[in-house]
Structure 1
Amino acid sequence: MKYSRVLGTGSHLPSRVVTNADLEAIVDTNATWIRERTGIEQRHLVSEGETCCDLAEAAARKALEAAGIQASDLDLILVATTTPDQFFPSTACLLQQRLDVHGCPAFDLQAVCAGFVYAMDVADKFIRTGAAKHALVVGAETISRLLDWTDRGTCVLFGDGAGAVVLGAAEEPGIISTHLHADGAYKDLLQVPGGHGNGRPEAAFMEMKGNEVFRIAVTTLGRIVDETLEANNLSKSDIDWLIPHQANIRIIQATARKLDLPMERVVVTVAEHGNTSSASIPLAFDQAVRDGRIQRGQTLLMEAFGGGFTWGSVLIRY
């Protein structure tokens, strides 16, 4: 039986940095409040003319280099994004053209902040079934373009960026298990209500009922931790690293407590990046791989919760 394992990681952030103090000048907010309530101190935002595909390409090239393979070796290109450059072609197809790859399947996946977890599940199944030998999985977002910069409840939370992994076929599991869920009953709590399909293209800004989302996220992520451990007959002590979606430091801390993990074994980038939606987990993963914290043979738990609601986890032996 074939399995998939992580061969390489990469990430990229826009050069433009916006601090909490910078936001005080444009919206009615307080830098200290942002830091204390969310853990965020700054975020990276795209500049005029900078695209989601630009971010995805930079992260993808670093992941390919780390994996030691050529783009022509790819059998699948999958981009998790909420902010595609165009309605169509997909950002994955745009990325495929940039990488000079021809013929292999390439498509986008939209599950908002849980998008990268969903995409890892899909790529893992392609490899396990023999449909692909090498897969590029990217989480890339220009989420700042969905923000109402007069809404202090949302605009202070998010940033832009991209992270990528290359998966390859292996005889032993790298990806041990994946667990995905969704419940559209909560759609009104976190949404961008506008769209051409519903005739409301003008309503293309994020709306969030923050307190309700926070409460449900903490409970739901606790359950996905239990589900993942039980499905694999593991104890909490078997997890070497938690790589959570970087939405809010208090949510991250709650999940760490659920696992009895000290924060020293949690990869946290929310202070520097803010919430980069589907890019947040691969950004954090790449950072911890490149600075040497994450080592081969360790067991990693990735988990995320996003609009939809969507949520899920990936258990990896790196």
Structure 2
Amino acid sequence: MTFFSKIIGTGSYLPPKAVSNHELAEQLAAKGIETSHDWIFSRSGIASRHYAEPGVKASDLGVEAAKRALEAAHMTASDIDMIILATSTPDFLGGFPSTACVVQNKLGILNGAAAMDVQAVCSGFMYAMAVADSMIKSGAHKNVLVIGAEVFSRILNFEDRTTCVLFGDGAGAVVMSRSEAPGVLATKLHADGSHQDILCVPGNVEQGVLAGSAYLHMDGQAVFKLAVTVLEKVANEALELAGLQASDIDWLIPHQANIRIMQSTAKKMRLPLEKLVVTVDQHGNTSAASIPLALDLAVRDGRVQPGHKVLLEGVGGGFTWGAAIVQM
């Protein structure tokens, strides 16, 4: 029998602390950094973002999103036999133990379920979904918890107004399960390491001491140009693999980085903007968490319905990008 993987539950979580552009501008002004709501919003479409409180880690956000996804799937944590967590801001230096293992422990999943992190920055959730899809279709796993969780506020330089205003913290999750009915119709992943310098955290640890910078660095113009090109291309590749046309898509849920990139992709694919799910205005760029956050919001407010075909896509540092087409 041929099996599919299907999303049967979604969940998300945002830290309670929301910071508007006006509030952030006031905080930056105290440091001598000039910015404004209009400057931020006109360039990105961002009006607000959420910041985790001190001591709150990516795993804490991921656990809350996972609990909500499990509840939506009518499952308990013990039903999960694999956790794949996408993050660029892991709980521990060096990324080990993996944040997925930390989440597993906090959820009380003591059945020996596999757990691992995936690092593809803002494309991380697409990579994690693709791995989960393959694991389920191969028969190796039955119920996979896929999480994107980030505390990007910890790696922002609040003296660089070109980057610190763009990012926020949050987590999103889905439960993907073995199904006889179609779910994930296609996935497509890419990377090009020759562009690694345009979006990175260029520091490393040598003999226990930080060498270089621990802050996010981004060449915004270069990222924008590359993103609008690769997102259209990978979306069309996924459509071809699924045997679909753009007109078959009910919803486009891209990585929530910049409203201009998102609208440009929709227009190039001749999708009406009414089919574009937008959360970047309230969440900012939450990296690997942005796609599952937006998906969960659209599911819970009733826009995304069972049977709808949804195109998910993301692009991030590395340089990485990917897309998936799922039937809900």
Structure 2 SS opposite 1:196? strand
Task: State yes or no: 1:132 paired with 2:141.
Answer: yes
Q: Distance in 1 between matches of 2:205 and 2:143?
A: 35
Q: Percent identity?
A: 53
Q: Distance in 2 between matches of 1:164 and 1:232?
A: 23
Q: Distance in 2 between matches of 1:125 and 1:197?
A: 37
Q: Distance in 1 between matches of 2:16 and 2:293?
A: 15
User: Which residue matches 1:75?
Assistant: 81
Where in structure 2 are there 5+ consecutive unaligned residues? none
Query: Normalised by the size of structure 1, how large is the TM-score?
Result: 0.98
Task: State yes or no: 1:278 paired with 2:279.
Answer: no
User: Which residue matches 1:178?
Assistant: 187
Task: State yes or no: 1:194 paired with 2:203.
Answer: yes
Query: Normalised by the size of structure 2, how large is the TM-score?
Result: 0.95
User: Which residue matches 1:141?
Assistant: 150
User: Which residue matches 1:317?
Assistant: 327
User: Which residue matches 1:157?
Assistant: 166
User: Which residue matches 1:63?
Assistant: 69
Structure 1 SS opposite 2:202? coil
CA displacement at 1:258 relative to structure 2: 1.8
Deviations 1:121-152 (A, max 9, x none): 00111100111110000000001111100001
CA displacement at 1:201 relative to structure 2: 4.4
User: Which residue matches 2:175?
Assistant: 166
Q: Distance in 2 between matches of 1:168 and 1:266?
A: 26
Task: State yes or no: 1:7 paired with 2:8.
Answer: yes
Deviations 1:255-297 (A, max 9, x none): 1102212221111000000000000000000000000000000
CA separation of 1:21/1:93 partners in 2, compared to 1, >3 Å: closer, same or farther?
A: same
Alignment of 1:287-306 (within 5 A): 287-306=297-316
User: Which residue matches 2:57?
Assistant: 51
User: Which residue matches 1:95?
Assistant: 103
Q: Does the 8 A contact of 2:12 with 2:64 survive in 1? A: yes
User: Which residue matches 1:249?
Assistant: 259
Q: Does the 8 A contact of 2:84 with 2:117 survive in 1? A: yes
Where in structure 1 are there 5+ consecutive unaligned residues? none
After TM superposition, the structure 1 stretch with the greater mean CA deviation from structure 2, 22-31 or 275-284, is 22-31
User: Which residue matches 1:109?
Assistant: 118
Q: Distance in 2 between matches of 1:285 and 1:195?
A: 34
Deviations 1:225-255 (A, max 9, x none): 2211222232111000001000000000011
Structure 1 SS opposite 2:132? helix
After TM superposition, the structure 1 stretch with the greater mean CA deviation from structure 2, 33-42 or 16-25, is 16-25
CA displacement at 1:197 relative to structure 2: 6.0
User: Which residue matches 2:23?
Assistant: 22
Matched residue pairs, number? 318
Structure 2 SS opposite 1:35? helix
CA displacement at 1:172 relative to structure 2: 2.4
Q: Does the 8 A contact of 2:202 with 2:212 survive in 1? A: no
Point out 4+ residue stretches in structure 1 off by more than 3 angstroms. 197-202
Superposed CA RMSD in Å reads 1.2
2:43 to 37, 51, 61: 37
CA displacement at 1:62 relative to structure 2: 0.3
Deviations 1:179-221 (A, max 9, x none): 0000000011111001226964451101111111101100111
Q: Distance in 2 between matches of 1:201 and 1:16?
A: 32
Q: Distance in 1 between matches of 2:293 and 2:43?
A: 22
CA separation of 1:286/1:201 partners in 2, compared to 1, >3 Å: closer, same or farther?
A: farther
Q: Distance in 2 between matches of 1:255 and 1:200?
A: 38
Q: Distance in 2 between matches of 1:128 and 1:196?
A: 39
Q: Distance in 2 between matches of 1:2 and 1:235?
A: 24
